[in-house]
Amino acid sequence: MIYPKSKEEVVQEFRIQSLQEATMRVIARKGIAGATMQDIADEAGVAKGTIYLYFRDRDELVEKTFENAITELHRRVDLALDTDAPLEQRLRDSLRQAIDFFRDNGQFFRLYIAQRFPEGTPQQQAKQKRHCDQYKSRMLKLAAVFEEAMNRGEIRRVDPYRLALFFAEGTNAIIVERVMEQDPPPADADVELIVSSILNGVRIQRSDI
C-alpha cells in the first residue's frame, strides 16, 4: 500500500465530516452569527474544546464547511453547463442539479445566502473580498455560457453578465421557496417555468393561441 489510510486518519476525517455537518445544521437553524461554538459542539455530541483539535478557530470551521459544500454544488452544475448541447438543455440540466442539491442540503442554503453579504468586522476585509470574488466568478462563468449562446445565434444579444445575474438570482429565489415549502411541486414544473420564462418570455405569443 502506497498511501495507507491509517486508523487515525479515518477517525480524524470522520470527526471533521461530522463537525461540518453539525455546523451546517446549527447555522441553518440559528444563522451564521447566531451559531455559537457551544451549539455546534452540542449538535455534534462533543465538547467545545474538541472542535479546536480539528479547526484553528471559528472562522476556519465556517469557512471550510462552506467551501466543502459549495465545491460540490459547483461541480455538479458545471458538469451540466460544460457540454455542447443547446443552451436550453444546459439550463434545464443545471437547474435540475441545483434543485436536487438543495433538496438534499437544505440547511446549506442559509450559509450560501449569508456568505454573499458578510458581516463587516473591520479586520476581515480580505475574506469578504474572497467570497465576493467567488460569487463573481460564478456569474462570469454563467455569463460566458450565455455569451456563447449569443454567438451561436441561439439567443439575442444583451449584456450577458446582467442576464446571468438576473437568471441566477431569480432561480435562487425559487429554490429558496422550495426549501421553505414542506411539500414543493415537482422539480420539473419549476425548471420548466424558469427556462421557458427566460427563453420565451411570458407574453402571449402567436404560437400560444
- Which residues bind to its own copies, rule: CB under 8 A? 29-34, 110, 113-114, 116-122, 153-156, 158-159, 162-163, 165-174, 177, 185, 189-190, 193-194, 196-205, 208
The reply on whether position 8 binds DNA by CB under 7 A is yes
User: Where are the strands (E) in 18-144, listed by range?
Assistant: none
Residues with Cβ within 8 Å of residue 74, at least 6 apart in sequence: 138
Grid cell of 123 as nine digits: 479586520
The reply on whether position 82 binds DNA by CB under 7 A is no
Please enumerate, as own/partner, the contacts of 148-154 that have beta carbons within 8 Å and a separation of 24 or more.
Answer: 149/87, 152/87, 154/86, 154/87, 154/88
Question: Out of 50, 71, 89, 197, which residue is the one contacting DNA (CB under 7 A)?
Answer: 50
Question: Out of 10, 11, 113, 180, which residue is the one contacting DNA (CB under 7 A)?
Answer: 11
In this chain, which stretch among 47-55, 104-112, 143-151, 191-199 interacts with DNA, using CB under 7 A? 47-55
Nearest to 171 by CA among 111, 36, 179: 179
The partner in contact with residue 46, picked from DNA, its own copies, none with C-beta cut-offs of 5 to 8 angstroms by kind, is DNA
Residue 7 or 203 with smaller CB distance to its own copies: 203
Residue type, 83: T
Torsion angle defined by CA atoms of residues 145, 150, 155 and 159, in that order, rounded to the nearest 10 degrees: 80
| Main-chain phi, psi angles of 92, to 5 degrees | -55, -50
The partner in contact with residue 114, picked from its own copies, DNA, none with C-beta cut-offs of 5 to 8 angstroms by kind, is its own copies
Residue 120 or 186 with smaller CB distance to DNA: 120
The partner in contact with residue 36, picked from DNA, its own copies, none with C-beta cut-offs of 5 to 8 angstroms by kind, is DNA
Q: Do residues 94 and 172 touch, judged by C-beta distance below 8 A?
A: no
The partner in contact with residue 8, picked from its own copies, DNA, none with C-beta cut-offs of 5 to 8 angstroms by kind, is DNA
- What is the C-alpha to C-alpha distance for residues 67 and 131, in angstroms, rounded to an integer? 10
Grid cell of 61 as nine digits: 470551521
Question: Out of 18, 25, 28, 37, which residue is the one contacting DNA (CB under 7 A)?
Answer: 37
The partner in contact with residue 1, picked from its own copies, DNA, none with C-beta cut-offs of 5 to 8 angstroms by kind, is none
Residues in contact with DNA by CB under 7 A are: 8, 11, 15, 35-38, 46-50, 52-53, 57-59
